[in-house]
């Protein structure tokens, strides 16, 4: 019994001694990253929308050579609509929209959109607690689409039923390019893991509707920009160190 106990202690000590250590090892680390960014619009995006928010989900891998590969999806949303005249054709001379019962109703406008991108990055461990932390530079390409969401109270405006909303939503789609530079932190204790940095998104997009009420054909070519600070919390998936000794 005593020999088995000593052997177990020696096994645990050896496992700890030779286990991976973030402080002196560059690791292959799969991860999930949840992030948020307030974004300032530019170009044609700024003509339609004001301040935008974005929440993101990244699934990726940081390699043992500090390259990083990710699939990123973001949800864009906001309630600052500059192009708020899209329903003027429905308004009375007094500026009201009337429902089917002859009552004035409140119709709300929101921005909604998505981006999906493949990202490649390089980590430079010039600062941080270990060789898995440092300055991160990333580039990516993918897809952007956004529209104006119209909320019609109880669908009581006949011209704004769901089947008619496609005639006012300004649906826009196209190529999205992304650049990011920031700091990525993976702690020695593997508990505090985050990133924060400057992100620029460029959309080379086009209107996707053959007809919009009060507008006509919507096939406009657009150059759109979003600039923001993106902060995220990283959930790394560390591989379990294999047992080197086994006891019956």
Position 14 confidence tier, pLDDT thresholds 50, 70, 90: very low
More confidently predicted of 10 and 133: 133
pLDDT score recorded for residue 213: 85
Residue 57's SS3 state is strand
In the chain, what percentage of residues exceed pLDDT 90?
Answer: 65
CB atoms within 10 A of CB 77: 15
pLDDT digits (tens, 9 = 90+) for 79-131: 999 988 888 888 888 888 888 777 888 889 999 999 999 999 999 999 999 99
pLDDT score recorded for residue 240: 64
More confidently predicted of 172 and 156: 172
pLDDT score recorded for residue 17: 35
Judge whether residue 12 has pLDDT over 80: no
pLDDT score recorded for residue 225: 98
What residue ranges in the chain does DSSP mark as E strands? 29-43, 52-62, 67-78, 97-98, 104-105, 107-124, 134-152, 172-186, 193-207, 209-212, 216-218, 221-236
Q: Using an 8 Å Cβ cutoff, are 143 and 180 in contact?
A: no
pLDDT score recorded for residue 11: 46
pLDDT score recorded for residue 6: 46
β-pair type (209-212, 193-207): unpaired
* Domains of the chain, each with CATH number or no CATH: 27-236 (2.40.160.20)
Range of weakest confidence among 27-36, 38-47, 159-168, 202-211: 159-168
């Amino acid at each position: 019994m005593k020999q088995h106990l000593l052997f177990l202690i020696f096994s645990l000590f050896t496992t700890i001694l030779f286990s991976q250590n973030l402080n002196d090892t560059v690791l292959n680390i799969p991860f999930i990253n949840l992030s948020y960014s307030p974004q300032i619009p530019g170009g044609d995006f700024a003509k339609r929308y004001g301040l935008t928010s974005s929440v993101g989900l990244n699934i990726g891998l940081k390699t043992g050579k500090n390259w990083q590969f990710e699939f990123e999806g973001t949800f864009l949303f906001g309630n600052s609509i500059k192009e708020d005249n899209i329903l003027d054709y429905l308004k009375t001379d007094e500026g009201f929209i009337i429902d089917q019962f002859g009552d004035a109703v409140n119709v709300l406008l929101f921005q909604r959109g998505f981006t999906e991108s493949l990202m490649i990055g390089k980590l430079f461990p010039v600062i941080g607690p270990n060789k898995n932390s440092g300055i991160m530079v990333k580039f990516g390409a993918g897809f952007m689409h956004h529209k104006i969401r119209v909320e019609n109270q109880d669908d009581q405006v006949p011209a704004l039923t769901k089947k008619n909303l496609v005639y006012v939503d300004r649906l826009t789609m196209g190529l999205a390019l992304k650049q990011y530079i920031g700091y990525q932190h993976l702690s020695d204790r593997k508990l505090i893991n985050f990133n924060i940095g400057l992100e620029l998104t460029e959309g080379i997009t086009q209107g996707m509707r053959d007809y919009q009420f009060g507008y006509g054909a919507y096939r406009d070519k657009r150059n759109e920009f979003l600039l923001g600070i993106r902060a995220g919390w990283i959930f790394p998936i560390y591989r379990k160190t294999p047992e080197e000794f086994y006891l019956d």
